[in-house]
Amino acid sequence: MSEKERDRLKVLHEVKQRHLTQSQAAEQVGMSERGFRKLLKRFRENKDSAVVHGLRGRRSNRGLTEETASKAVQAVRQEYRDFGPTLAAEYLDKDLQISLSRETLRQLMIREGLWKAKTQKISEVHVWRPRRSCQGELVQWDTSVHAWLEDRGPGKMYLIALIDDASSSLFGRFVPADSSEQHRRVLRGYVERYGRPLAVYTDKASLFQPTLAPGWKTEEPGPKSETQMGRAFRELGIEWIAAHSPQAKGRIERCFGTLQDRLVKGLRRVGAGTLEAANEYLEREFLKDWNERFTVQPDSQVNAHRPMNQALHLESILSHVEQRTVTNDYTVAWDGGRWQIPKAAVRPGLRRSSIRVEERLDGTLQTRIGEQFVTLTVCAKAVKCEITSERKRPARRYVPPPGQSRWMQHFSVAKQK
């Protein structure tokens, strides 16, 4: 018996000996008088066992049957062996119509040795930071390198992901390299879908922060003090915030932990083996399911994303931009070659001036002269002609036979003397 049942039994004996009235006893055990009278009636019939619940020791009518438990364990062992309890429970319900709670399945997997209970780790304490109140107010940005396609694809791939701090809505793309160009392509996709966020929160990678001597932050923004991503953020009016530790951007870090479990299994289930197939599944199914299930309601209904207006040229902003000097023949140097400015775009004072040259994401090279963008054309390199002579030199020098050279004849005559 439990301690509570022993206390009730003592009160029942006090009532039996007429030391307490039924109303006093009901008040002591915290029951109504009617309920206590029913308990007292059972006590007079069944003695001390009346305080023990009648269903104790019996199997619950709502308990999991051995057949269902065996079927679920067999499916996990064969199809979902490396799945966690939560994800395995979702796939069991979706594929086999076996509806189990994640805790029930976790206990079954622990009992069968398919899952190991996790122990609490003592780690460094980080102060909790509340979410931003509006969607688009802050977006956490990071890259994860992982074998997303396991052994079906080109080894490790890069996933660039952006998660909203207020709502946890997710946007991402698989890319072949962790380069500035690929990050600008992902930024274009995000801006075209949602608009311009107020701020982005990233690490201090060289994509976002140049490696320069101390004091560079006090300089004016320019080619020496900002990267191509930093320039794009500035021209789009997006504030860049650097995280001093991985824990500071914990939302995107925890998101990658979930993606490396759920997304890898999802790509495996659909048989994705290329980067294009992975992006198709990510866009068509996974992100849609994530944003329906795992997003939260922001404190404010105001959307802080700002639309693109006519004054902002997105393709120009997301280009690789450098300054070049125009030569006297109206050409500029780029990537080891010469590029010609069209004659129709020539203006007075253009020679020896510095212009902004943009290598667009589509591969074209453009510059802005006046109020219009001008496409530059590459200058053909002159082909050097080889000068050939009609008289051909002998392939090798003539060597006379031994004793026939003038020097050898002179040497032999001197030796005879």
Report the C-alpha gap between 355 and 378 in whole angstroms.
17
Determine the average pLDDT of the residues in 63-81.
Answer: 87
pTM above 0.75, yes or no: no
Q: What is the pLDDT of residues 8-43, one digit of tens each?
A: 888 888 888 888 898 988 888 888 999 889 988 888
**DSSP helix/strand/coil, 394:** coil
Rounded distance between C-alpha atoms, residue 140 and residue 145, angstroms: 17
Contact present, 49 and 21 (Cβ < 8 Å): no
**Residues 279-324 pLDDT 10s:** 999 999 999 999 999 999 999 999 999 998 878 899 999 999 999 9
Q: What's the rounded Cα separation, in Å, for the pair 287 and 370?
A: 43
Tens digit of each residue's pLDDT (9 = 90 or more) over 342-353: 998 888 889 999
The answer to whether 378 and 368 have CB atoms below 8 angstroms apart is no
Amino acid letter, 396: R
For every residue of 38-107, DSSP letters joined together read HHHHHHHHHGGGGGS-TTTTSPPTTSPPHHHHHHHHHHHHHT-TT--HHHHHHHIIIII-----HHHHHH
Other Cβ atoms within 10 Å of 90 Cβ, number: 15
3-state secondary structure of 417: coil
Burial call 111-121: b when 16+ CB within 10 Å, e when fewer: eeebbeeeeee
Hey, CA dihedral for 49, 50, 51, 53, is it positive or negative?
positive
pLDDT category, 226, cuts 50, 70, 90? confident
In angstroms, the Cα distances linking 374 to 72, 156, 158, 360 are 65, 39, 34, 12
pLDDT bin (cut points 50, 70, 90) of residue 181 is very high
User: Given a cut of 60, is residue 402 above it in pLDDT?
Assistant: yes
Give the full edge-to-edge strand order of the sheet including 199-202: 170-175, 157-164, 139-146, 199-202, 239-242
Phi and psi torsions of 121, nearest 5°: -100, 140
Is a pLDDT exceeding 90 seen at residue 113?
no
CA angle 346, 348, 351 (to 5 degrees): 75
Measured between alpha carbons, how far is 53 from 56 in angstroms, rounded to an integer? 6
- CA separation for the pair 84, 74 (Å, rounded): 15
pLDDT in tens, 235-271: 999 999 998 888 888 899 999 999 999 999 999 999 9
Task: Output the pLDDT for position 237.
Answer: 92
Tokens standing for residue 240: 């860049």
CA-closest candidate to residue 287, choices 248, 249, 255, 246: 255
- Cα–Cα distance, 53 to 116 (Å, whole number): 35
Q: How many CB atoms lie within 10 A of CB 4?
A: 11
State the pLDDT at residue 29.
84
Closest CA to 143 of 106, 185, 110: 185
